[in-house]
Structure 1
């Protein structure tokens, strides 16, 4: 954990201590970049308050008063009720219940849902730091550690077909940077989801794509740095660099999941921009 995460976590512990007498509060969890150790100088602090029953607006306001929190945004902003300033730091307070959290993650664990919001919730629970309610937090951590094999298969089947280079190669040849970088990012996001599934890691959002890639064990060599470089290379070179990473990823999938048909994604890798001239 770096310096930025440590002092934010210290503040989270102070705030949790002020809520010791709150009836119905089952757990207080530090989440987000602090829990993952990714904080930087621009990071806020995210705290999840887990209740037996969701507090009404008046009680939420009373809790904000106890924490000496000031609203960060005007009342018409959607983040008004959850985004605060405490001791000079932006702090987000998430109010939720045990039932809400377990209902959100259940479709992923039982039906192998690819919903990224629900998958992200499992990642949040896997990485949370309990400030109160350790038993509940450890139960959720154990649940989120058991990544279903069927979920891996579903993610691979859904996102491997996105390894398709035709539109990227066309945009590179046509000097269309808006189209090129939009397509480049879309393919890289699908690649990220494939690598997460291959490593049985839940979706952490795309905000931390490079930090997460750096700590996944089953990935192409130096994959994060190579993907970042594509945004600084000339488009034709960037497309070729991305193709190399995609091909290496396909090889990893084929080694570990030979039952998955990779004919279409392999076909998608070799899609040059074809010129047509009048005869």
Structure 2
């Protein structure tokens, strides 16, 4: 754990007993980059608070003043993710609080590990729990971590299949590059990079942690194209057509890895669709130039 992570952990340990004064709090954990040991000068202090029942706004704000914090923002309940979030400051550092009920969290864990749910926010939650450091009631957190310790094969296949198709990508990017539509080119590059990494996460049994700290994510991958991180970075630094070729090759190499290590997933159709080209029409095609369409004629005549 680096120094930036260590002092953030100490702040979290100071705050946790104050949060835990509420008897409805069942567990507290440090999450985010500090719990992974790689925080930097941009990192917040991210804390997960797990409740026996939904917290009120007053309960969520109660620890701020006793902790010496300053209130910043209180977000409303997010029903899609079943989470309440608030932000407050301590010495200028953002305390990023994420509140879930125990029931809500355990439903997410079951959805991912038992039902092969590939929803991104659920995977981000599972990844946060996997790497969390307990601050209050460690046995409960340890029970959750044991539940997600083994990445299910059905989930791995679902994750790979979800990102297998990227139809006519090479043709699309070539068209954008030759037209000079660079914002769309690099949007397509980002889409392709995330798709490659998502397939590799499934292949390597890694819960999707989000797309920050990508070089650290790629370093965890035992199964990956050679020099993956360097090549993805290079794709965004060279000219667009050369970048397209780099990402094309990385995707095809990822398909090769799937064929080798996950033969249950068929890649042949996805390969063909990915490489599919549409013809460039440079002149009036034969047969069209001879057509005479009278102005005002309807499409039915």
* Matching residue of 1:240: 245
- How many angstroms does 1:273 deviate by? 7.0
Q: Show the counterpart of 1:60.
A: 60
Is 1:86 aligned to 2:65, yes or no?
A: no
Which residue matches 2:154? 150
Which residue is 1:2 aligned to?
Answer: 2
Residue equivalent to 1:12: 12
Match of 1:275, SS state, is coil
- Taking the aligned partners of 2:210 and 2:110, their CA distance within structure 1 comes to 19
Alignment of 1:71-220 (within 5 A): 71-73=71-73, 82-162=86-166, 164-220=169-225
SS at match of 1:166: helix
Show structure 2 runs of 5+ residues with no match: 79-83, 285-301
Q: Which moved more, 1:230-239 or 1:14-23?
A: 14-23
In the alignment, which residue of structure 2 is the partner of 1:30?
30
Q: Give the whole-Å Cα distance in 2 for the aligned partners of 1:106 and 1:264.
A: 32
Whole-Å separation in 1 of the counterparts to 2:264 and 2:204? 17
RMSD: 2.3
Deviations 1:77-109 (A, max 9, x none): x9x961010132111112222111112222222
Per-residue deviation, 1:196:
0.6
Q: Is the Cα–Cα contact under 8 Å of residues 235 and 243 in structure 2 kept in the other structure?
A: yes
Question: Whole-Å Cα distance in 1 between the matches of residues 147 and 74 of structure 2?
Answer: 38
Q: Which residue of 2 aligns with 1:41?
A: 41
Larger radius of gyration: 2
Contact map agreement 2:118 2:158 (CA 8 A) in 1? yes
1:166·1:268 contact (CA, 8 Å) conserved in 2?
no
SS of equivalent to 2:98: strand
Structure with the bigger percentage of helix: 1
Q: Residues of 2 paired with 1:208 and 1:271: CA distance? A: 32
SS of match in other structure, 1:167: helix
Distance across 2 between alignment mates of 1:114 and 1:274: 36
Secondary structure at 1:63's aligned position in 2? coil
Distance 2:120 2:48 in 1: 19
SS of 1:165 mapped into structure 2: helix
Q: What's the offset of the Cα at 1:21?
A: 3.6
TM-score normalised by L of structure 1: 0.91
Q: How many residues align?
A: 278
Matched, 1:265 2:270: yes
Mapping for residues 220-239 of structure 1, pairs under 5 Å: 220-239=225-244
